[in-house]
Each structure stands twice: as structure tokens, then as C-alpha cells.
Amino acid sequence: MTARPADLRRDYRRAGLSEADLASTWHEQFARWFDDAQSLPEPNAAVLATASPEGVPSARTVLLKGYDARGLVIFTNLTSRKGREALAHPVASLVFPWVELERQVVVCGRVEQVSREETSAYFRTRPRGSQLGAWVSRQSAVVSSREVLEAREAALEERFAGQDVPVPDFWGGLRVVPGTVEFWQGRPSRLHDRLRYREDGVVERLSP
């Protein structure tokens, strides 16, 4: 018999997180935990939440493609729902759910567009199929069938045959510039450790 969601319980006992454990900056601490997460299937998978100018939220899983002291970067079709929302109402949240490690990282902050130079540098590292896919998909738009996508792909393969695939002008990077970054470590009896870096450099402990 399938268990009901309310009956599923797990006591987290892998580790704790104290103020003394933390690196001096959020990005150094993120690097530590990201290294620990390399054993997971998709350590760079995160849920990106955006909202429309009217405050209607939306969320989806994305793949982190870079991070440093400036923030965390993803790349996308800028005419997609997330692209339109992030540029029109430039605030967002990223959640890294490293469940197997009994950890999560929650980033909240403003959004800025990555430079075309940085976008182009990343685009050149993508497999050719992914480069073509960026041109094929009018992301988030209704499409009548799979065959339509396959026909576009074939046409673009012919169009760009024997040459590098250029970066579409509608495709680019979004950087979430943290206002806060929370590191969450599961603990027994739901008394979890939650330590949050603020933009002003303060680190604070949150009640679980």
C-alpha cells in the first residue's frame, strides 16, 4: 500500500551546522557545499522562482552554470516565461534541494542580465546540439506537435551547416545577485540549523 504523504517521516542525523563552521563569505560556503554535492546526480539543479509584475509566482527547475562573488548564473531563452518575468520584475529565488545530504541552500535577491561577452563565452562551450536547440525552441510558447520542433531543427542544421552556431539575440544569462543566502542543515526532531548570510555581511541564525 502506498504511504500517505503525511505518514512519511525521516529524522535528519547526518551533520550539524554551527556559526564556527561557516566560511567568511556566502560564495566560499556555497563552494564547500557544492563540492560536497558532487556525488549527487545533478548537483547544479535548482528551483528558480520568479514572479510577474502583478505578483503571480512561477517556479521551475534550472541548471546553475556559474557562480562567484557577484551571484549565481543561469542561461535561458530571454523570451521564455522566466526570462520575461525576471527582466520585467527583477527579483528571484533559487533553491538547491540537496536532499540526500539533508541540506538545502536558499538564495533570494535581485536579477541582472549577464553581459553578451559572458553569454557568448558560455554558449561556445555548449554541445552543438544544445546550441541548435537554443534556436529551435520558442521556449514557453505553445507548439502544435513534436514534429514542428523536429522540422525546425532539421532546417537549422541545414542553415548552419559547416559553420559555428551563433548566439541567438533572444538567448542570454541571468544572474541572481544575493540579498540573502541561507544554508539549511537537517537535524533531529526538526530542530534544523539555518544560518543566513545577509548582503550587509551579517550572518544570522533562523529558527527552524
The string of pLDDT tens digits covering residues 17-50 is 999 999 999 999 999 999 999 999 999 999 999 9
The total of other beta-carbon atoms located within 10 Å of residue 194's CB is 17
Enzyme catalytic residues? 190
Place of cell 535577491: 109
Domain that holds residue 35: 14-205
Is residue 23 in some structural domain? Answer: yes
Task: For residue 48, tell me if it sits in a domain.
Answer: yes
- 7: in domain: no
CATH code of the domain covering residue 109: 2.30.110.10
Confidence at 11, pLDDT banded by 50, 70, 90: confident
Cα dihedral 157/158/164/168 (nearest 10)? -70
Distances (CA, A) of 29 to 23, 60, 105, 163, 184: 5, 25, 10, 42, 12
Flag whether 5 is in a domain.
Answer: no
pLDDT interval class at 8 (50, 70, 90): confident
Residue 9 domain flag: no
In a domain, 74, yes or no: yes
Place 7 in a pLDDT band, splitting at 50, 70 and 90.
Answer: confident
Domain assignment present for residue 1? The answer is no
- Span 51-78, average pLDDT: 97
Share of the chain above pLDDT 70, in %: 100
pTM above 0.85, yes or no: yes
pLDDT in tens, 69-125: 999 999 999 999 999 999 999 999 999 999 999 999 999 999 999 999 999 999 999
145 in any annotated domain = yes
Query: What's the number of domains the chain is made of?
Result: 1
CB 173 within 8 A of CB 74: yes
